[in-house]
């Protein structure tokens, strides 16, 4: 892996995410079907498939913006909107640069979390993807090497799912099935874990 985040890094990441999202789509759809519309796997896979067809410029910020627009076009669902919001946040931070140090990973995740919270009107602790992004930001703080970042992210994803599994959902459509959601993984958090696993591989 490159010593810094570049557009080439993003292209490689998108290719991995397309494959993983398509493979895991049935699992994500099934998890979402217990608490929502049952189309989360479709949302994630179509979003990354559309992203894979976009031309990504050398400017890392503009590349993130292209990915955000891909999600906006392919996935107008609430999760697709949050994904686009996170990618737009990264675009703003990285605009004008062709290289971004991996040491900024935690800060990028933190900015994405804040932007997603503002867009989705959510709070931490409501058992949603926001809690996962927050945990990832915390876990990757101070890390500068891709392998260390990947290991920390994988551990944080597993730990966060376990921490929230027996809590009720308090955000999004799943909040209408709060009692039913106890003992189930939040679909959005599960989707984030799938993406983390793909990138860490």
Chain centroid to CA 108: how far?
12
- Cβ atoms of 108 and 90 within 8 Å: the answer is yes
Residue 175 pLDDT > 90: no
Q: How far is the first Cα of the chain from the last one, in angstroms, to the nearest whole number?
A: 11
Candidate from 72-76, 93-97, 104-108 with smallest mean pLDDT:
72-76
Q: What is the mean pLDDT of residues 152-180?
A: 85
Q: State the pLDDT confidence band at 176, using cuts at 50, 70 and 90.
A: low
- Cβ atoms of 52 and 67 within 8 Å: the answer is no
Picking from 113, 107, 197, the residue whose alpha carbon sits closest to that of residue 154 is 197
- Cβ atoms of 127 and 186 within 8 Å: the answer is yes
Predicted pLDDT of residue 132: 97
Torsion of CA 35, 37, 39, 44, to 10 degrees: -70
CA pair distance 136, 69, nearest whole angstrom: 24
CA pair distance 49, 97, nearest whole angstrom: 25
Give the E-state strand segments of 97-196 in sequence order.
Answer: 100-101
Predicted pLDDT of residue 174: 62
- Cβ atoms of 185 and 27 within 8 Å: the answer is no
Report the CATH number at residue 61. Answer: 1.25.40.340
Q: What does pLDDT average to over the chain? A: 93
Domain that holds residue 180: 4-200
Picking from 96, 61, 67, 106, the residue whose alpha carbon sits closest to that of residue 84 is 67
Could you report the per-residue pLDDT of 31-46, keeping only the tens digit for each?
A: 999 887 889 999 999 9
Q: What is the mean pLDDT of residues 9-27?
A: 97
CA pair distance 143, 152, nearest whole angstrom: 9
Q: Crossing angle of helices 187-200/7-33, nearest 10°? A: 140
Domains: count for the chain: 1
- Cβ atoms of 113 and 134 within 8 Å: the answer is yes
């Amino acid at each position: 892996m490159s010593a810094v985040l570049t557009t080439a890094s993003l292209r490689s990441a998108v290719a991995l995410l397309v494959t993983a999202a398509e493979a895991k789509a049935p699992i994500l759809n099934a998890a979402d079907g217990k608490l929502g519309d049952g189309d989360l796997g479709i949302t994630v896979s179509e979003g990354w498939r559309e992203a894979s067809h976009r031309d990504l410029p050398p400017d890392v910020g503009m590349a993130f913006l292209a990915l955000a627009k891909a999600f906006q076009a392919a996935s107008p669902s609430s999760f697709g909107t949050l994904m686009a919001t996170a990618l737009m946040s990264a675009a703003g931070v990285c605009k004008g640069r062709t290289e971004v140090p991996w040491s900024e990973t935690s800060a990028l995740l933190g900015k994405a979390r804040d932007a997603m919270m503002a867009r989705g009107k959510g709070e931490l602790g409501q058992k949603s993807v926001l809690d996962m992004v927050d945990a990832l930001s915390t876990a990757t703080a101070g890390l500068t090497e891709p392998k260390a970042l990947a290991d920390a992210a994988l551990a944080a994803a597993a730990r966060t799912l376990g921490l929230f599994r027996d809590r009720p959902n308090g955000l999004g459509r799943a909040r209408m099935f709060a009692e039913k959601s106890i003992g189930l993984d939040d679909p959005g958090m599960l989707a984030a874990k799938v993406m983390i696993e793909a990138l860490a591989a």
